[in-house]
């Protein structure tokens, strides 16, 4: 039973990670890449998109443990996707054109797998079209719990729940229609157990 719960949790996590991953477009335009400098979260994808001419995108500096890349960008290879798996700074060039280069910085995603205590909490977070946020907690332990909402910089913007969650199937609803559009994090803390989910308010 415990094993099933864990499998379900990993599954839910995988789905939520996949759904929340962002694709960042880097446009080739003449002998430039645009934007030339930006920030992503681990788990996001950087998509290089060809516009004209014959170019490539070749990594020149990646963090330890990150994959390098080398892909043509031309009429036959109009885009290239690089999935970011390691935090740190990435630099790349087009080897055909001196000065055609760019960088991006990857920050650790608060909901990356290694930050989540898998022994514990199942939490499902979603937003609905009418501006409601639903947080569904499946296996709270009965300790005092705090559920907060953080903005992309980690600043707390709302307390969604504070107190013991007695039920093992508990739903929090929050009106987020007044919130600025963007990426937020829902953080569940119960004793030493912490679980975080990324959520898009749109
Ligand atoms: Cu080029």
Domain coverage including residue 54? 19-107
- The sign of the dihedral angle between the CA atoms of 75, 22, 175, 125 is positive
Question: What is the whole-number distance in angstroms between the Cα of residue 163 and the centre of ligand 1?
Answer: 57
Question: What is the whole-number distance in angstroms between the Cα of residue 103 and the centre of ligand 1?
Answer: 15
Compare 148 and 32 and report the one with higher pLDDT.
32
For the domain that residue 80 is a member of, what is the CATH number? 2.60.40.420
Query: What are the pLDDT digits (tens) for 58-107?
Result: 999 999 999 999 999 999 999 999 999 998 999 999 999 999 999 999 98
For 154, which DSSP code? Answer: S
Model pLDDT, residue 33:
97
What pairs with residue 137 in β-bridges?
123, 170
Question: What is the whole-number distance in angstroms between the Cα of residue 186 and the centre of ligand 1?
Answer: 41
Question: What is the whole-number distance in angstroms between the Cα of residue 22 and the centre of ligand 1?
Answer: 25
**Within this chain, do residues 119 and 89 fall inside the same structural domain, yes or no?**
no
Number of domains composing the chain: 2
3 state DSSP class of 16: helix
In a domain, 11, yes or no: no
Provide DSSP, 86-98.
S-EEEEEE-TTST
**Within this chain, do residues 27 and 96 fall inside the same structural domain, yes or no?**
yes
**Within this chain, do residues 120 and 150 fall inside the same structural domain, yes or no?**
yes
Residue 118 has pLDDT above 50, yes or no: no
> What's the predicted TM-score (pTM) here?
0.50
In a domain, 7, yes or no: no
């Amino acid at each position: 039973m415990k094993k099933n719960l864990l499998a379900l949790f990993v599954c839910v996590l995988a789905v939520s990670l996949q759904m929340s991953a962002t694709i960042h477009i880097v446009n080739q335009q003449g002998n430039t890449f645009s934007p030339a400098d930006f920030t992503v979260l681990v788990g996001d994808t950087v998509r290089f998109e060809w516009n004209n001419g014959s170019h490539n995108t070749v990594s020149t500096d990646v963090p330890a443990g990150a994959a390098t890349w080398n892909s043509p960008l031309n009429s036959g290879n109009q885009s290239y996707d690089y999935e970011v798996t390691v935090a740190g700074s990435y630099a790349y060039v087009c080897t055909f054109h001196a000065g055609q280069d760019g960088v991006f910085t990857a920050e650790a995603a608060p909901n990356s797998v290694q930050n989540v205590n898998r022994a514990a909490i199942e939490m499902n977070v979603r937003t609905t079209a009418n501006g409601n946020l639903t947080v569904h907690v499946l296996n709270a332990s009965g300790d005092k719990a705090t559920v907060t909402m953080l903005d992309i910089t980690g600043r707390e913007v709302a307390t969604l729940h504070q107190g013991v969650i007695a039920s093992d199937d508990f739903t929090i609803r929050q009106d987020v229609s007044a919130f600025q559009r963007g990426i937020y994090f829902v953080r569940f803390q119960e004793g030493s157990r912490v679980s975080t989910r990324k959520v898009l308010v749109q």
